[in-house]
Amino acid sequence: MNIPGKKKKEKETEAQTTATEATPRAEEQPVETSEATEQSHKESIDWKTKYDESQDQYLRLYAEFENFRKRTARERQELILSAGSEVLKSILPVMDDLDRALENMQNSDASKAVIEGVELIANKLRHHLAEKGLKEMEVLGKAFDADMHEAITHLPATSPEAKGTVLAVAEKGYTLHDKIIRYPKVVVAS
C-alpha cells in the first residue's frame, strides 16, 4: 500500500538519522587533553609574566627620569645661587680693609663727617651684599668648631668655662645662602 504521508515521514526519519550519524556524538568528539590545557595555561602565565616585567621596567624608567629631573632642577638652583660666589669672594678683602679703615678713623683725629660718610658707604655695601645672600658669621664667644672655624692661635683661658671658646676674630667668615665661602680665622681659648 502506498500511503503518501507515510513516505514523507519515512524520508524525514531517514534524513534525521543521516544527520545524527554525520555529526559526531559527544562521546566521539575529540576531548582536549590535559597537555593542551596545560600548554594554554603556560602561555597565559608567560603573557602575564611578560606584562609584569614590562610594567616593572616602565615604572623603574619613570622613577629614574623623575630622579634625573629633580636632580637637574636642584643643580640648576644651586648654580643660580652660587653663580656670583667668586665675585663676592673677591670683594671680601675689600670689606675687611673698609672695616679696618673705619676702626682706625674712629681712633684718629678724622672729622666726624668723613667717618659718617665712610660708615654710610660700608653699610650700603653690606646691605647690598646681604640682599645677594651674603652673611657675616657670628663666632665671637661661641664654642670652637673645627668644621666651622679656622684656628690661627691658642691663648690661655681666663676661666674654665672659657676653654674651647673663640676669644677673638682675626678675619671674619662669611656664608652665601648658608654655605660657607670663607671660614673665620679665630683665636681660641685653651
What is the residue-level pLDDT of the chain in tens, covering all 190 positions? 455 555 555 656 565 555 455 455 545 445 456 777 777 777 777 888 889 999 999 999 999 999 999 999 999 988 887 778 888 899 999 999 999 999 998 888 878 888 899 999 999 999 999 998 899 999 998 999 989 999 999 998 888 888 889 999 999 999 988 889 999 999 999 8
- The pLDDT score that the predictor gives to residue 71 is 96
Contact 169, 138 (CB under 8 A): no
Domain boundaries, the chain: 47-83, 85-132, 134-190
pTM over 0.85: no
CATH number of 134-190: 2.30.22.10
Give the tens place of pLDDT for each residue, 131-168: 988 999 999 989 999 899 999 999 988 888 888 899 99
Nearest to 141 by CA among 168, 175, 160, 159: 168
For the chain, what's the residue count? 190
Q: How many CA atoms lie within 13 A of 25 on its CB side?
A: 4
Residue whose entry in the numeric block shows the C-alpha cell 690661627? 152
Distance, C-alpha 63 to centroid of its chain: 12
- The pLDDT score that the predictor gives to residue 6 is 55
| Distance (Å, whole) CA 56 – CA 50 | 10
- The pLDDT score that the predictor gives to residue 48 is 87
In this structure, are strands 134-136 and 174-176 parallel, antiparallel, or unpaired? antiparallel
Distance, C-alpha 161 to centroid of its chain: 42
- The pLDDT score that the predictor gives to residue 13 is 58
- Helices (H), ranges, the chain: 4-22, 34-82, 85-106, 112-131
User: Tell me, what DSSP letter sits at residue 167?
Assistant: E
